[in-house]
Amino acid sequence: MVRALLVIDVQNDFTEGGALGVAGGTRVAEGVAEHLALAAGDYALVLASRDWHEAESDNGGHFSEQPDYVDSWPVHCVRGTTGADYHPALDASSIDVHLTKGTGSPSYSAFEGVTADGESAAEVLRARGVDSLDVVGLATDHCVRASVLDAVAAGLAVRVVTDLVAGVAPVSSEAALAEMSEAGATLVTRSDLGVES
């Protein structure tokens, strides 16, 4: 198998202190960085996605002054701002492919993202012969869920590293993990992968 690692939205606005900070977000950022340091050789490719929203737009109704936290949200991850940057614990030099998503429209899945050259995640993975994907990042019950379901639908063998994800809420995160598992993803921990600090 040719395996890649997909790091989803480990951005300042999704970690503690950010516009949509997730409890445990910083822990995930630090854990992903450590995982990359210890296990980079296990991956043919490392991809990372980022929300990359427009400042002068509601991004297709994604931003709202009265968000419902289901389909609309406060302003976050505006491209070119500190909030949209990767968390400082995550060394961007360890990432081979950068994907941006949500520019002008709602977007949750990393598979809706594109590279600077306009390639989709699926195109990048196909070109490298990747057939297996480990997924980490934020948030379990939103962008991780959407990305994993799309990856499984694309025919990839997907493992979700459960100690390297964090969600908005416990109940919805557990439901998302169950849904991903039922769709065909395998739920693993770093110790299951033989990678521990």
Mean of per-residue pLDDT scores for the chain:
94
In the chain, what percentage of residues exceed pLDDT 90?
81
* Residue 196 pLDDT > 80: no
Annotated catalytic, 101? yes
CB 72 within 8 A of CB 112: no
- What would the pLDDT profile of 105-125 be if each residue is shown by its tens digit? 888 999 999 999 999 999 999
- End-to-end CA distance of the chain: give it in Å, rounded: 25
How far apart CA 18 and CA 166 sit, in angstroms, is 14
Q: With bands split at pLDDT 50, 70 and 90, how would you rate the model's confidence at 197? A: low
CB 60 within 8 A of CB 101: no
- What would the pLDDT profile of 81-106 be if each residue is shown by its tens digit? 999 999 999 999 999 999 999 988 88
The answer for residues whose C-beta is within 8 angstroms of residue 55's C-beta and 6 or more apart is 78, 79, 80, 81
Annotated catalytic, 192? no
Query: Given 77, 134, 143, 150, which residue is catalytic?
Result: 143
What angle do the packed helices 145-153 and 170-183 form, to 10 degrees? 0
Q: Which CATH superfamily is domain 3-188 in?
A: Isochorismatase-like (3.40.50.850)
- What would the pLDDT profile of 157-167 be if each residue is shown by its tens digit? 999 999 999 99
Annotated catalytic, 9? yes
Q: With bands split at pLDDT 50, 70 and 90, how would you rate the model's confidence at 126? A: very high
Look up the pTM and report it.
0.95
For residue 114, give the amino acid letter: V
Query: Given 77, 101, 141, 150, which residue is catalytic?
Result: 101
Q: With bands split at pLDDT 50, 70 and 90, how would you rate the model's confidence at 73? A: confident
